[in-house]
Amino acid sequence: MIKSPEKLADTTIQFSAPVRANSPELQQLFDFIALGASERDRDRILPYNVVELIRRSRLGALRIPVAEGGGGSTARELFEVVIRLGDADPNVAHIVRNHFSVTERILRSERTPRNRRWLKAVADGAIIGLASTELEVKRSGGGQVANTKLTPDGDGYRLNGTKYYSTGSLYADLIFVRVLVPDGTKAFILIPTNREGIDLVDDWDGFGQRLTGTGTTTFTNVRVEADEVIFETDTDKDNLPYNIVPQLFLTAINAGIIRSVLRDATALVRTRPRTFYHAVSEQASEDPILQQTVGQIAANAFAAEAIVLAAADGLDRLPAAQAQGEEAETAAALATSLSASKAKLIVDDLALRSATLLFEVGGASTTKKSSNFDRHWRNARTLSSHNPNHFKARAIGDYEINGTPLPQRGFF
């Protein structure tokens, strides 16, 4: 059962405009988000208040250059922030995943008046959601479209169709939609979510990441202006050969979950009033077995963060490669995509193992629903299920053995 959205909580956080990656108010924001994360997950309270604070902070403008009203962060700094936000609340981090993916696409495109308008909206706090997946296609991912179509309407279009797994759109101001244009080719549109004819439904019933708004979106005779359509032949189409940002984003959230597991495990050992019957110490904090377990979780958290940031460094090298020409950019993007794929294999495993180790620290009492410690495993498992790892491992192996490039689309 979905509880009513929370009212916007009182907070003394005063945001600069916009918030920067290492600013004190950003940590204050994450601390505030973390306070209610477990309760929201346990009781399925949709985090509208938290998203509103993110909107006010203009966190979504983190990657926009300072000269264009943004935070001017590097890719590495972005993923440092994603890890911290995943630590505070992985649901909230997942909500803004598509926002940053779409913003990155616009940033790497020509600064047309349309793109400047969209970037200005993000710099002012707008959040972008995504509606791409259709259940009618035979293969998930890859940008396939079956029923979401534009039809001519004067100097613009009308949009009809249904999308699923529209993560983040429930909370968004704008929605990025893959569509079929009248000639049968594919395109994207970016339109306001409050436009007449758009119906956002919170019908996601997964056991993890339950608050992400990953539901159904229906478009019924929605008006679309001509300059809201991005055709595949446009000069501002996606100029990266691999979908790296959305892929690495989920891995970074899992790295954040490990940090959250470490915090809970440490607090459990420090505050336990009793210990196990066969324990070698009367005090839990002095038990070498528990110390070893917490130490392993800490090492997992360190490794996961290091791996994610190493892959993010590849994204920061892409502009220099692009300046050297298409061949250099493609090679650099391939290397970064490989790094992101390898990172997923390792970090997903570390997250799931760490979430299990938490119960080794706390024992049967940690399985109480009121504690909600199982959220870590549920959320990590759900995130890990995006493009199952055996497909990743096979593609990596094929590249290492045969030099076969990773798929260019849908591989996230």
Over residues 160-208, the pLDDT tens digits come to 999 999 999 999 999 999 999 998 888 999 999 999 999 999 999 999 9
Rounded to whole angstroms, how far apart are CA atoms 402 and 219? 44
Length of the chain: 412
The whole-number pLDDT of residue 139 equals 59
Bridge partners (DSSP) listed for residue 147:
none
The whole-angstrom separation of Cα 57 and Cα 18 is 6
Say if residue 83 is exposed, middle or buried (CB neighbours under 10 Å; 0-12, 13-18, 19+). buried
List Cα–Cα distances, 160 to 155, 177, 222, in angstroms: 17, 11, 7
d(CA 59, CA 399): 37
pLDDT at position 2, please? 40
The string of pLDDT tens digits covering residues 291-331 is 999 999 999 999 999 999 999 999 999 999 989 998 898 88
Look up tokens 């962060």; give the residue. Answer: 73
The two three-digit tokens of residue 149, written as one number: 């179509």
Quickly tell me which residue has 């949009």 as its tokens: 159
Q: How many CB atoms lie within 10 A of CB 338?
A: 20
Query: CA 343 to CA 144: how far, in whole Å?
Result: 26
Q: Which residues of the chain fall below pLDDT 50? A: 1-9, 236-237, 241, 410-412
pLDDT of residue 246: 93
Please work out, in degrees rounded to the nearest 5, the angle formed at the alpha carbon of residue 324 by the alpha carbons of 318 and 329.
40
What pLDDT was estimated at residue 232?
72
Query: Judging by DSSP bridges, how do beta strands 198-201 and 216-224 pair with one another?
Result: antiparallel
| Short-list 310, 313, 369, CA closest to 42 | 369
How far apart CA 317 and CA 319 sit, in angstroms, is 6
Our CA angle for 122, 117, 196, nearest 5°, is 80
CB-CB neighbours of 404 under 10 Å: 12
pTM comes to 0.94
pLDDT of residue 284: 79
Six-digit token pair at 187?
């395109």
**Region class of 23: left (phi > 0), else alpha (psi between -120 and 50), else beta:** beta
d(CA 33, CA 89): 7
93 close to 123: Cβ distance less than 8 angstroms: no
**151: β partners:** 158
Domains delineated in the chain: 16-127 (1.10.540.10), 131-231 (2.40.110.10), 244-402 (1.20.140.10)
Is the Cβ–Cβ distance between 203 and 162 less than 8 Å?
no
**What letter would DSSP give residue 72?**
-
**Residue 234 CA neighbour count, 13 Å, CB half:** 23
Q: Considering only CA atoms, which of 376, 313, 389, 288 is closest in space to residue 346?
A: 389
Helical spans, DSSP H, in 210-287: 244-271
